[in-house]
């Protein structure tokens, strides 16, 4: 087990070092799919062999971690092939730092998933900020450096609050004469005896801190700039990778609240932040002219959906964990296809982008279908998970919550639809015809696979995936 955990965590980090020393700018990106393939194989092997998941020390692969590990490994695997086509197009730029940071990002995210010590998890999440900052700055424009600093400053404030919340959570044990520990097993075991005022304060601070990394409103302000200026592949991994790691941190803290008998207190906060995030995202999508900033607000919305479902518990938590998977696959479609449109039009504004389905038939069509999927339309995966969450709300007697959920989904659909339809319909501008960029196999095939997975999850949920989601949802109701 120790060998497997360290392999999954350290192998990508070691390959990041290899990429930094690798001399060939053209061949270096192939280290990404090489690493991604091995990581995915090791992940599947680990999930299929429970003896490899036995807890040792601070490294534990719990049920939610298993699901998120699979999602992140699969996303990186697909995005790694896209990266080759993207970096080939950007052949005049050195990709040394970009490739190394992507590989290190995979390793640090894996460490977040395996960490079952609150302190180690905090260090790992802080590590994600450090390795993703150069990725956001890759285009080296004034706007990208501004986005990078904004990302670092806001997320640093959030992570500082999370550190303070960790101290408060430790003191909640000490205040009651218990031995202070930041191991989640110890926190869950002693949860009913923790000091309630200190526990409540710790939960608020940790929720705000890690909610900042998720991009929950009103702590979301780094997202539009970072997602807007980062390459499409970076946006995909932030929206389907980094935010999932932050959500896992929130989920583990909420698990402690549930074990302490404070489900109602924690659930109300999660539901409030979830609805607020959906509302804020919907408002800022109306009239949005930048397709990548639109996707950033879409990420804010779906992070809200995740914590909303988690706060309701039961079927709602199952729907939230299923939505985590569906959202990640569909965001892969949207961010990668948007990146292709950005290069074909040398712009990300609908003032310049029109007729995308004619200019780039594959990417333009996938961008349209990605919009249909992410807004919860059948027969795609997000429809199933969102329907599960709204069903849970009405079955639980939360009629106002369910009604607001549906209303905010409608606002998002209208706001996002105006931007997407303006981009894909009509005729391409004369200026865009002068740009030679076209879809290639490497920049198109991964998007097709992401789209196929989103459709598959809407039509049929494979038994192993259903089991992973069910075990993760059940885990929230148990204590060690």
Can you tell me whether residue 428 is helix, strand or coil? coil
Q: Is 451 helix (H, G, I), strand (E, B) or coil?
A: helix
Cα 161 to the chain's mean position, in Å?
21
Distance CA 246, CA 27 (A): 33
Close Cβ partners of 379 (under 8 Å, ≥ 6 residues apart): 455, 458, 459
d(CA 306, CA 280): 15
C-alpha 195: how far from chain center: 32
Q: What is the pLDDT of residue 54?
A: 66
* pLDDT at res. 357: 94
Closest by CA position to 224, among listed 156, 288, 157, 294: 294
Q: What angle do CA 323, 217, 329 make, to 5 degrees?
A: 25
Q: How far is CA 155 from the centre of its chain?
A: 15
- The H-or-E segment that residue 172 falls in is helix 142-174
Residues lower than pLDDT 50 in the chain: 1
Residue-level pLDDT at 128: 95
Q: What angle do CA 273, 275, 279 make, to 5 degrees?
A: 115
pLDDT for the residue 49: 85
- Using only C-alpha atoms, the chain has a radius of gyration, in whole angstroms, of 21
Predicted local confidence at residue 327, as pLDDT = 97
Instruction: With beta carbons less than 8 A apart as the criterion, state whether 213 and 243 touch.
Output: yes
**What pLDDT digit, counting tens, does each position of 258-301 carry?**
999 999 999 999 999 999 999 999 999 999 999 999 999 999 99
pTM of the model: 0.96
pLDDT at 127: 95
Provide the 3-class DSSP secondary structure of residue 95: coil
Two tokens, residue 140: 């080296």
Q: Which residues pair with 53 in a beta bridge?
A: none
Place of tokens 């310049």: 352
| Residues 6 or more apart whose Cβ sits within 8 Å of residue 252 | 64, 121, 184
Residue among 199, 392, 215 at smallest CA distance from 311: 392
What distance, in Å, lies between the first and last C-alpha atoms of the chain?
20
Question: What gap in Å lies between CA 56 and CA 79, rounded to an integer?
Answer: 31
- ∠ CA 313-314-320, rounded to 5°: 65
pLDDT at 159: 94
Tokens representing residue 262 in the block: 């404070």
Ramachandran angles phi, psi of 383, nearest 5°: -60, -45
* CA 168 from centroid of its chain's CA atoms: 27
Cβ(297)–Cβ(281) under 8 Å?
yes
Give the separation between CA 226 and CA 222, rounded to whole angstroms.
6
The values of phi and psi at residue 397, to 5°, are 80, 15
Say whether 156 sits in a helix, a strand or coil: helix
């Amino acid at each position: 087990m120790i060998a497997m955990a360290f392999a999954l965590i350290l192998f990508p980090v070691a390959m990041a070092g290899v990429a930094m020393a690798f001399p060939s700018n053209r061949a270096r990106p192939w280290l990404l799919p090489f690493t991604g393939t091995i990581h995915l194989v090791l992940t599947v092997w680990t999930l299929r062999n429970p003896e490899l998941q036995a807890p040792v020390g601070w490294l534990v692969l719990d049920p939610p971690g298993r699901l998120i590990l699979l999602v992140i490994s699969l996303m990186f695997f697909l995005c790694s092939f896209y990266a080759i086509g993207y970096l080939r197009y950007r052949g005049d730029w050195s990709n040394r730092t970009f490739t190394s940071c992507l590989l290190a990002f995979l390793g640090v995210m894996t460490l977040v998933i395996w960490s079952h010590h609150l302190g180690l998890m905090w260090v790992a999440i802080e590590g994600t900020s450090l390795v993703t900052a150069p990725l956001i700055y890759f285009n080296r424009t004034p706007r990208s450096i501004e986005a990078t600093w904004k990302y670092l400053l806001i997320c640093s404030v959030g992570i500082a609050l999370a550190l303070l919340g960790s101290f408060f959570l430790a003191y909640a044990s000490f205040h009651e004469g218990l031995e202070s520990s930041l191991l989640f097993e110890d926190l869950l075991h002693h949860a009913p005896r923790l000091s309630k005022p200190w526990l409540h304060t710790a939960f608020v601070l940790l929720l705000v801190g890690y909610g900042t990394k998720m991009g929950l409103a009103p702590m979301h302000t780094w997202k539009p700039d970072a997602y807007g200026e980062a390459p499409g592949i970076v946006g995909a991994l932030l929206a389907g990778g980094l935010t999932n790691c932050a959500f896992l941190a929130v989920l583990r803290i909420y698990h402690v609240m549930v074990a302490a008998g404070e489900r109602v207190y924690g659930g109300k906060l999660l539901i409030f932040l979830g609805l607020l995030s959906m509302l804020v995202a919907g408002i800022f999508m109306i009239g949005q002219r930048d397709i990548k900033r639109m996707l950033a607000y879409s990420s804010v919305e779906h992070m809200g959906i995740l914590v909303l479902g988690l706060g309701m518990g039961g079927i709602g938590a199952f729907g939230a964990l299923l939505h985590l998977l569906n959202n990640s696959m569909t965001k892969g479609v949207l961010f990668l296809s948007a990146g292709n449109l950005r290069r074909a039009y040398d712009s990300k504004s609908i003032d310049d982008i029109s007729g995308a389905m004619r200019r780039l038939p594959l990417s333009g069509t996938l961008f349209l279908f990605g919009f249909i999927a992410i807004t919860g339309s059948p027969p795609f995966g997000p429809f199933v998970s969102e329907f599960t969450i709204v069903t849970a709300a009405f079955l639980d007697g939360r009629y106002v919550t369910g009604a607001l959920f549906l209303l905010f989904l409608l606002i998002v659909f209208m706001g996002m639809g105006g931007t997407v339809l303006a981009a894909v319909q009509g005729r391409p501008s004369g200026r865009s015809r002068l740009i030679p960029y076209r879809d290639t196999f490497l920049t198109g095939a991964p998007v097709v696979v992401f789209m196929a997975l989103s459709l598959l999850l809407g039509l049929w949920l494979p038994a192993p995936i259903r089991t992973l989601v069910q075990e993760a949802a059940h885990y929230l109701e148990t204590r060690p």
